[in-house]
Each structure stands twice: as C-alpha cells, then as structure tokens.
Amino acid sequence: MSKRVFLDNAATTPMAPQIIDLISEMMKTHFANPSSIHSYGRESKIVVEKARKKIANILNTSPGSIFFTSGGTEADNMAIKCAIHDHKITHAITSKISHHAVLYPLEDLEKEGTIKLSYVDIDENGVVDLNHLDELLQANPRTFVSIMHANNEIGTIQDINAIGDICKEHKAIFHSDTVQTMAHFPFNMQELNVDFMAASAHKFHGPKGVGFVYISEDIQIKPLLRGGGQERNMRAGTENIYGIAALAKAMEMAYENMEEETTYIKGLKKYMIEKLQSEIEDVQFYGKCTDLDDSLYTVLSCNFPERDDSEMLMFNLDILGVACSGGSACSSGSSKGSHVLTSIVPDSMRPGVRFSFSKYNTKEDIDFTIDKLKELFS
C-alpha cells in the first residue's frame, strides 16, 4: 500500500493500543448489565462507578457531577434542552462559530418560540467580545449561555474563566462545549464557574460512541432520555461498559502524559507552520492558530491561493495520501461552506484546510504533506 498520513485528529483520533487491549479484555470478562443485581451485574456496575470516580478526580469534582452519554453531541443537547426547559429560560446566547451540536438545538428552540436567541460579537479571530456578552446579559432576563472552549475548525480558544465569572454575576447558566479540549488541557472544576461541559472519548484516543456531560451540583435538570433510570435516573439506556472503562483509561493516560505530549504536538505544529511559510507561496492562516500558546495546539487551519479546481483540494490531497479536513469534518461531505469560516472571512474564495495532529504523528508526516502540497501548488 502506498504511504498515507492522517492529519485529521480534530475529527477523530486513532485508538491507543492500550485502549484496544482494555476493550477486548472487558468484552470477555464484563458482559453483564450493570443494572442487574446478581454478581455479574455488580461487577459491571463497579467498572462504571470506578470510571466515574477516576474522571471526577481528574477534573477535581464530585463523581455525582459526571454522567455518561453516547458522546459530545448528546451531552450538548442534554445540557441545552434540559436546562432551558427545566429552568424556564427564555433567552439564550451563543456565537455564530459554535459547533452545530450547539447551534441546531438552540435554533430549534428559537423556532418553537421557547427562547429568543442572541449571538455575541466575535472579532476577526473568532474571540468573543466580553463587553458585548455583558451587555446582552444585562439587557435580558435570566439567560442560558453556550460558548465552546476551543473552536474545532480554527482553533480559537475562549477565556471560559472570564466568561464563567460574567455569567455568574448575572446568574446565567453557562454551558461550554469542551469536546476539543477535554484531555488536552487541564480543568479544575473548583475554580471554574461552568454549569455544563461536554466530552467525547474518540477525541483523545478512546473509542467512538461514548462521552460524558459534567453537570454542576448547583444545577438540577430532568433527563433528556427516559427509560430504565440508569445514571442515577439522569440518562436512560444500558451503559456502554467497555466504552466507559476505555473513556476513563484514555483520560487517565492523557493527563498522566499531558505536559510531554503537549510539547511534542506543539513542536509538530510549529514545524508545519514554518514549512508551509517557506515552501508554499501565499499560504495564510485563520484566527490565532499560529499562536502556539493561545490556540488549540492540535489544530492548524490555513488557506491557499484560489485555483480553478479549489473545490477539489480535499479530494486531491486524499488521492495523494493526505487525510485532512476542509473546515469542520462533520460537514466535509456537504456542499455547504463552513459556517465558521463564513463568519470570520465571509467573502473569501480561497480553499481552507484544517490539519490536526496527535501524539502518533511525526515530522515525516509533515514533510510528506508539504511535498504533496508542493505538487498541487507548484
């Protein structure tokens, strides 16, 4: 097989070998339903609760604040729909570059007449205008605020500490989509004024189909999914035991090696920025993604000179053996342009590419990618 490189780690990450081994072993030994009261069921229940406690310890919070879900999208929907409904919220704030897992449910609630939806101003880098956020909160009744920690397309990081403090001052409910930053950045929930956060295991070398929602003990909501009463009556459905165990293990591995892996991945990103700038004429970068200390270090979002076949850039790179994304991977197969890029560079016709890295990438992967780009743009 010809050489291929995977630079689409913001879309998903390859599972760590230790995680594959853990899942394989768990499937043999812990097959019982955790809700069953016999010994097999109790053993499965112990696995779930140990995983919950492990995650809570990492985030410096109570195990009672962690609820397992099918992933980040469910976690976001649960936070948004349940908080707004159960707390009788009539006004919500988000930004136009939020993930569709946030935008779509909020837009649906607006169409139903449940809420008025406001969009906080952002600058050319996608950074939230905190003064405008404060003004919106002052001018409206109690509000639900949803601001993602780091944007999945351009890597812009928001100051969720400051946003959380502003929300607390106005008694607003604050939800942050942390899918791109969980297990990549440290979190101390004793110091953050955040009511809801979302996580998905496949973003940090765990399996797909499992994640969790953090819910502050100060917030009470009813479940989004009703049924068997699992997750202390907060999320019905038989628990994904193997996925939950793997999620906790993947998080544990990420935080144990965070400093070393962060430094390594930042080095890859810096190397690729330098290679792009020296080897590809007129390459440009979105947002603040070239700032290694003030952007999502796993993401490098850039654009290239317009060509007659600009729309074929992703396809051509794939044919040449480079897997990457044009904006958000969740919409890469769609004919629609990126809503994120439209918000910050509305008139640009230059083809945008998101390269995203993991600990399994190498400088050789970067060199290979640069060579293929040179073939296309020489």
Q: Enumerate the active-site residues.
A: 330
Q: How far apart are the C-alpha atoms of 328 and 104, rounded to whole Å?
A: 15
Is residue 285 helix, strand or coil?
strand
CB 264 within 8 A of CB 254: no
CA distance 79 to 47: 25
For residue 275, what are the contacts with CB-CB under 8 A and spacing of at least 6? 366, 367, 370
Measure Cα distances from 11 to 34, 108, 187, 355 in Å: 31, 25, 22, 10
Residue spans of alpha helices (H) in the chain: 17-29, 39-59, 72-86, 100-111, 130-138, 160-169, 230-233, 241-256, 258-279, 313-319, 339-344, 363-377
Residues 376, 32: Cα–Cα separation, whole Å:
53
**Bridge-based pairing state of the strands 91-94 and 116-119:** parallel
Phi, then psi, of 343 in degrees rounded to 5: -75, -30
